[in-house]
Amino acid sequence: MNLNFRKKNTTNTDKSKKKKSAGREWFDAILFAVIAATLIRGLFIEAYTIPTGSMEKTLLVGDFLFVSKVNYGARTTMTPISFPFAHHSMPITGTKAYYDGIKWDYHRLPGLEDVKRNDVVVFNFPMEADSPYYRPVDKRENYIKRCVAAAGDTLSIVNTQVFVNGKAAENPQFGETRYFVKSDGTDFNPQKLEDMDIEVQRSTADDYIFNMTSEDAKLIRSWPSVKSVTPMIRPANDYEPQIFPYNPRFKWNEDNFGPLIVPKKGWTVKLDSTNLPLYQRAITIYEGNKLEQSGNDILINGKKTDSYTFKMNYYWMMGDNRHNSLDSRYWGFVPEDHIVGKALFVWMSWDTNGSFLNKIRWSRLLGGIN
């Protein structure tokens, strides 16, 4: 038997193992960092900042917070081709940071919990769904509000008090509303009001409007120069056309609203001309059906029907600064495919109005969100 042995060519192998150039090493490191950061932001946790006062004083303008994608389950991307670290617009140029020629259906990974009442939630703004500024769901503006009613709940508001399933809901600890404040003619100390972070409007020489918490209201009632402190409450049946569902049949306003049932996945609602305005947007815009009315008949996708079964869960979101918040009272339900994540804690807070040494709100650092 003849055995043939072939000598290993070590010379060629050694030549093939060339050392990477410095440029290639930098490219590989940056690529790895971009991929890792994208996965972390998309699947686990992401940083956000608070630009407006609709959640004051729970969250302040200039708060930087971490939002968990794990709690409710990460939403898989619906617009797969986009520029890394840009939400919907490119920095400086303002042009689109994504390509919407390819879209994927909504899916969500398993989470640790469902969205619950009193959770502070980040979500995509649902009113962009049919606006002239239409963007894909995951590229719509990010909003942050408190979930006051979850899927299946019955919600109403009576004289600013939220009721869920017939019981008074817990009010936010630092939530703000407006009050009429009448003085004896003595001017208030502006520095004291600034230190209390109270927004003030003067109506007449003796009358003011304060936007503040209930605890601040109790304190101000005790001031010798204050004659009265009265909550500003819009009376029941005083119809506000800008309040959902924008129908004079429902004489609702921001302080007196409902009742209505928040849709739940699998819930079948009986439809008629009375409640159709409440659910029409969810059926058509969010769940993609064609709805028509022909006389007293309701047609969904061309078929006559008197009921509809919802495909998604919905939520009712409101700001803690109740008289300074555009929220579900103005645009209705938030669909589950718009939910981004749960706000966990403030990692940095920056006061643009603070002095040089007090720009950072040190007491808010690493504080939880309640």
Q: Encode pLDDT of 268-316 as tens digits.
A: 999 999 999 999 999 999 999 999 998 889 999 999 999 999 999 999 9
pLDDT digits 0-9 by tens, 243-271 = 999 999 999 999 999 999 999 999 999 99
CA distances from 39 to 22, 108, 193, 256, 343 (A): 26, 15, 45, 43, 18
Long-range contacts at 236-239 (CB < 8 A, ≥ 24 apart): 236/158, 236/159
Q: What is the pTM of this model?
A: 0.90
Sign of CA dihedral 52, 57, 60, 66: negative
- Band of pLDDT at residue 12, cut at 50, 70 and 90: low
Residue 1 pLDDT: 42
Long-range contacts at 297-306 (CB < 8 A, ≥ 24 apart): 298/271, 298/272, 305/271, 306/270, 306/271, 306/272
For range 57-66, the mean pLDDT: 95
Q: Exposed, middle or buried: residue 56 (CB in 10 Å: 0-12, 13-18, 19+)?
A: buried
Domain 176-231, architecture per CATH: 2-Layer Sandwich (3.30)
Tokens coding 300: 């969904």
pLDDT digits 0-9 by tens, 171-200 = 999 999 999 999 999 999 999 999 899 999
Residue 346 pLDDT: 96
| Region of residue 333 (left: phi > 0; alpha: psi -120 to 50; beta: else) | beta
Higher pLDDT, 120 or 8: 120
pLDDT digits 0-9 by tens, 129-180 = 998 889 999 999 999 999 999 999 999 999 999 999 999 999 999 999 999 9
- Band of pLDDT at residue 14, cut at 50, 70 and 90: low
Rounded to the nearest 5°, which phi and psi values hold at 75? -85, 125
Decide if pLDDT at 6 tops 80. no
Decide if pLDDT at 116 tops 90. yes
Q: How far apart are CA 32 and CA 295, in angstroms?
A: 61
Residue 22 pLDDT: 81
Higher pLDDT, 12 or 49: 49
Please, what CATH class does the domain formed by 22-153+321-370 belong to? mainly beta
Residue 39 pLDDT: 86
Higher pLDDT, 115 or 10: 115
Percent pLDDT > 90 in the chain is 80
Average pLDDT along the chain = 92
Domain coordinates of the chain in residue numbers? Answer: 22-153+321-370, 176-231
Residue 5 pLDDT: 38
Decide if pLDDT at 18 tops 90. no
For range 114-125, the mean pLDDT: 97
